[in-house]
């Protein structure tokens, strides 16, 4: 029998149960661990890796302050996801 995509991810990802007495801690640790798993691509699932994270276009809009600056970025490569540490995750 062939595994489906959910079963493949369940084998490599850390999961938490809501009944866990320290669910918030488990969730933070699982999120951190799972981000590290996503650094490398999942070819069979067609999920690209986060090393680097490729963003074709990014707009950082201006606020309502005295100096309004809008930033436009194209073809961004974000690095460092293999070193993510989460202090708080809600």
Tens of pLDDT, residue by residue over 7-66, are 556 577 888 899 999 998 999 999 888 888 888 888 877 888 888 888 899 888 777 777
Domain spans in the chain, listed from the N-terminal domain onward: 5-83
| CA pair distance 18, 24, nearest whole angstrom | 9
DSSP 80: -
Strand partners, 74: 57
Of 25, 52, 24, nearest to 38 by C-alpha is 52
23-40 per-position pLDDT tens digit: 989 999 998 888 888 888
What is the separation of C-alpha 39 from the centre of its chain, rounded to a whole number of angstroms?
A: 9
6: pLDDT strictly greater than 80: no
């Amino acid at each position: 029998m062939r595994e489906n995509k959910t079963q493949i991810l369940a084998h490599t990802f850390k999961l938490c149960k809501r009944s866990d007495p320290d669910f918030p801690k488990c969730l933070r640790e699982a999120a951190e661990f799972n981000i590290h798993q996503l650094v490398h691509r999942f070819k069979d699932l067609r999920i690209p890796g986060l090393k680097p994270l490729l963003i074709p276009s990014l707009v950082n809009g201006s606020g309502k302050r005295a100096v309004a600056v809008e930033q436009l970025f194209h073809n961004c490569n974000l690095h460092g996801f293999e070193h993510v540490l989460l202090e708080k995750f809600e």
